[in-house]
Amino acid sequence: EAQVTQNPRYLITVTGKKLTVTCSQNMNHEYMSWYRQDPGLGLRQIYYSMNVEVTDKGDVPEGYKVSRKEKRNFPLILESPSPNQTSLYFCASRTGASQPQHFGDGTRLSIL
């Protein structure tokens, strides 16, 4: 089954403790993105990648890092999480420039 898989689905952690949210897609898609969703603000793009070793900032990249060492994986790294990064996070992928994005089921992060 074609899908985008995120892990973990839920995480409660403390300020400053590094964490990684993994994202994997099995559709051989070139493009991958990370979004965060906060009440009243809709989805905002954090980072995106158009191919292996090619990443670029979205609209809210501060406090996040990403890497794209393999086509299928696009992890989101929070080196020193802070409470303002408490949010619902989505990973997405798509095959080409005009094709629709496929979203994962989301990761709910709570930073205390």
* Residue from the set 35, 46, 66, 87 that interacts with other proteins by CB under 8 A: 35
The answer to whether 36 and 46 are in contact (CB under 8 A) is yes
Residue closer to other proteins by CB (options 63, 106) is 106
Interface positions, 38-77, toward other proteins (CB under 8 A)? 40-45, 48-50, 56, 58-59
b/e per residue 78-102 (b: at least 16 CB within 10 A):
beebeeebbbebbbbbbeeeeeebb
The answer to whether 76 and 48 are in contact (CB under 8 A) is no
Q: What is the greatest pairwise CA distance in the chain?
A: 39
Interface positions, 93-112, toward other proteins (CB under 8 A)? 94, 97-98, 100-106, 108
Residues within the interface to other proteins (CB under 8 A): 4, 31, 33, 35, 37, 40-45, 48-50, 56, 58-59, 88, 90, 92, 94, 97-98, 100-106, 108
